[in-house]
Amino acid sequence: MYRVPRATYRIQFNAGFTFADAQRIAPYLAELGISDVYASPILRARKGSSHGYDVVDANSLNPELGSDESFDALHEELDRRNLGLLLDIVPNHMAASAENAWWMSVLENGEHSRFLHYFDIDLTAVTTRGHTAAKVLLPILGKPYGEVLEAQEIQLHFDADGFFFTYYDKRLPLSPDSYGVVLRACLEFLPENSVSIELRELSENHDSVPNSRFLKDALWRIHEHDEVFRDALQSAIERINGTQGKADSFNALDALLDAQSYRLAYWRIASEKINYRRFFDVTDLVGVRVENPEVFEARNRRTLELIAEGKVTGLRIDHIDGLYDPIGHMRKLQSRLADADDRFYILLEKILEDGEELRTEFPVSGTTGYDFLASVNALCVDADGLQQLGRFYRSVTGLNESFADVCYQRKRQVIHELFSGEMRALGKQLGALALADRNARDFAPVDLTAALTEVTACMRVYRTYLRPGEAAGEADPADQQSIREAIIEARRRSGTAIDERLFTFLERVLLVDPPSYVAAEREHWLLFVMRWQQFTGRVMAKGVEDTAFYNYNRLISLNEVGADPGRSVDADGLAEFHARNVRIQRHWPHTMNTTATHDTKRGEDVRARINVISEMAPQWEHQVRRWSKMNAARKKNGVPHANEELLLYQTLIGIWPLDERELPSLPDRLQQYLEKASREAKNHTSWIAPNRQYEEALLGFAGAILSDQEFRTDFLRFQKRIAFYGFLNSLSQAVLKATAPGAPDFYQGTELWDFSLVDPDNRRAVDYEKRSGILKAMKALADKQSLAVEPLLTRWEDGRIKMFVTWKLLELRARHVPLFRDGSYEPIDAGPNVVAFIRRHNNDAVLVAVPRLIASLVNPGKLPIGGVWGDATLTALGKWRNVFTGEEHAGGEIALSHLFASFPAAVLEKA
């Protein structure tokens, strides 16, 4: 079954929003015009998970969201209303927690675990107590190991599941091989005549029952029925756990920990020593080897069942770039899902950089829409204003680096601070390859690692997709170009610091194109590149998304995944938008169009406001200088710096509530955001090393200016002007999302104004009663033919206008399904201040026109309608009716003053 959504609605499931809650809002979503619910992961995740991406059991639903029966009830409700379910799944990683039985088996049994190959672990060697052994390194301790041990923060325990260690809320199993150590200690506390034959056999012959439930069950049975044994075991455990203040008393516990298949370590050594692949730098999310056929089946079994049962109609694949062979994985998944004549609807969470296109080898329907977000957002950025903002930014901050420079520097920073161990391991593998090449064998491993670091930091895209089966020199041209551009840039940036012959060797390796005399080594070269490709996306995500984006504050509405904060002032947003849509309609007509997600840095209406700054650059410069002078006395030790002060003012411009009832929560929301932003920036504080003094000064400044009446009065006078234009930008954005090629997605709650920031701010509870009530009231008025758009525009602050536009557009999509699914896209030239195009399919057509860069057309408070447009026209043959106003237009030259006579957007269907 290939079901293309007409429109999706993203829901974030958690304990506070369950299957039953989704069932309750299904009628509202159907009334709004949504065709498919787009759900966050629903498999069992860690207890208390707010997002579901930390899966612990791939074969069961998350009980915090509801039972299997409640999920079935949700399915029945969706089915009754002809709503599909597009499900988010997470193949790349799982939670490394005690709730994950697969992971616990690996920790308990090490190399003997049947699940060892499920996880991406390098068990080659971990050093502990002066010797090396095959262990999993667990950097989970808050202090160095010895301090933690002697502070009695690690303790041995026993229950029905056997012996285990605790470290605060973490539970860690004992290897069956080490049970005998504890049991022999227990025997010392038992009278000779009270030791059962069974217990003596268990203590002396423990090697005969490793990796078995038998040992645990037998011990628990004895424990429950023999009080003498129970007391003796407790005494033995207490002795092993040691005595506070007596260092030698912890030797037994230390030795017992050393006998395990894992080594506990201080969290700060994770970047240096960790030997399993993580999700980015998150230690408690472990990479899964889904490329293994057995793991693929185990990881996808429940999802495949839900699809076979008709309960899931589409998939979103999380973090596709983390997989070993993304294209191969998707081909395999489609082979399990597709009908003989069609394939299953699948979208990839794939971040495409400027100019990058999704590889056509992916058997999917498109991406989750970050590329659309970047394109539609750029429409509302004034190029001349951006140039002025750049000059002002450099002058006020003293920062002259380009965004490309910032990205390079920050990627090098995260390689050093977060991924040094992984990079060193790659460098070691590269050194082994060099030894087999007579022209590279003399390169020192440290120099090879340095060159690889440079190339990785110079990659412009998240990853390349070289894969098994490709002949030498036959890599995709886009991949070849990405690698060669990175090599060129690495040579330029490193200058004479790195021997350029290292880059010559690296280029051949990364293109998997060995010289003939080492052709036999090609398979080893490919294995290395496959590993490196998994790594580059992590560097990009942490270095750019989570660091550079918080350091380059020229115009922060551009600081979004897939967008270009360093956007050239020569770029033409209108031409780019049309060119992208033509390309998407041709290659990926069923992709997703999104403007907000659970991962975006700012809500869609926040960006729409901040973009206006580019249209008012001189006024913005004047205001910022004024505010900075006004607030100078509130700075403590020079905090915030000018760059952070710009971030703060732009953020306030974007998130200031329209509803005064939301003002009391503003200080806490802002302070939560500033703490996260400053730590992500990694300049004066960070998640690794929080600088409380700096953070207190930054948050104190923010709190002080919010409380200052002089600043608030002056700020709001300017902010209200921005907010008005921002509302118009938001309407244009909503129209384009629903009418451009692709399926529009609506993130939860965004059918009204949404002035959220990055998570957790954008994951707050949504008031669906309010939204449902507004929609019902609108529809009731429409049924009576008494719904007027003028009051909606006049009182735009209440958000009903956005709901109205969304509802009318989704009605339109329902009336013209073939057109919006497969119709052509034809740009119309209506001047620099209008985005216009026609969608056609057979004899059907829809014309779309929305204004852009409105601040140059009208004063604040004045709508861009009527005579504002002078004698400008656009050409469209036939008779048309405006879906928002009901106004009709004759074909030919349509005056914009008529097209926008009473409403600041026009979507026309054939009359």
Closest of 499, 409, 517, 491 to residue 448, by C-alpha: 499
Summarised one tens digit per residue, pLDDT across range 430-447 is 999 999 999 999 999 999
What are 136's strand-pairing partners?
262
**Contact (CB, 8 A) for 344 and 314:** yes
SS3 331: helix
Closest of 659, 811, 637, 835 to residue 733, by C-alpha: 835
**Contact (CB, 8 A) for 58 and 298:** yes
Closest of 204, 137, 257, 563 to residue 381, by C-alpha: 563
State how beta strands 162-167 and 154-159 pair.
antiparallel
Determine phi and psi for 401, rounding to 5 degrees: -70, 145
Query: What tokens does 80 get?
Result: 């009754």
Dist. CA 42–CA 44, nearest whole Å: 7
Determine phi and psi for 472, rounding to 5 degrees: -55, 130
Q: H helices of 83-212, where? A: 101-109, 145-150, 179-187, 197-204
Query: What tokens does 406 get?
Result: 């910032």
Q: What are the angstrom distances between the C-alpha of 508 and each of 143, 428, 447, 728?
A: 44, 17, 17, 52
Specify the pLDDT at position 840: 97
**pLDDT under 70 in the chain at which residues?**
125-132, 194-195, 205-211, 339-341, 471-473
Summarised one tens digit per residue, pLDDT across range 667-698 is 999 999 999 999 999 999 999 999 999 999 99
Amino acid at 503: F
State how beta strands 136-141 and 262-266 pair.
parallel
Residues 6+ apart with CB under 8 A from 535: 419, 422, 423, 426, 456
Global pTM? 0.96
Summarised one tens digit per residue, pLDDT across range 607-648 is 999 999 999 999 999 999 999 999 999 999 999 999 999 999
Amino acid at 6: R
SS3 349: coil
Determine phi and psi for 559, rounding to 5 degrees: -85, 75
CA angle 510, 516, 520 (to 5 degrees): 75
Helix then strand then coil, % of the chain, to nearest 5: 50, 15, 35
Query: What tokens does 527 get?
Result: 């294995």
DSSP state of 393: H
Dist. CA 437–CA 352, nearest whole Å: 35
State how beta strands 346-348 and 366-367 pair.
parallel
**Strand order of the sheet with strand 93-95?**
93-95, 282-287, 278-279
- Rg of the chain over Cα atoms, rounded to whole angstroms, equals 30
**Contact (CB, 8 A) for 909 and 846:** yes
10 Å CB burial of residue 905 (0-12, 13-18, 19+) is: buried
End-to-end CA distance of the chain: 34
Dist. CA 836–CA 848, nearest whole Å: 5
Specify the pLDDT at position 211: 47
CA angle 758, 274, 47 (to 5 degrees): 50
Residue 822 CB neighbours (<10 A): 15
Determine phi and psi for 895, rounding to 5 degrees: -70, 135
10 Å CB burial of residue 205 (0-12, 13-18, 19+) is: exposed
**Contact (CB, 8 A) for 603 and 754:** yes
Query: What tokens does 190 get?
Result: 């038992």
Determine phi and psi for 893, rounding to 5 degrees: -80, 115
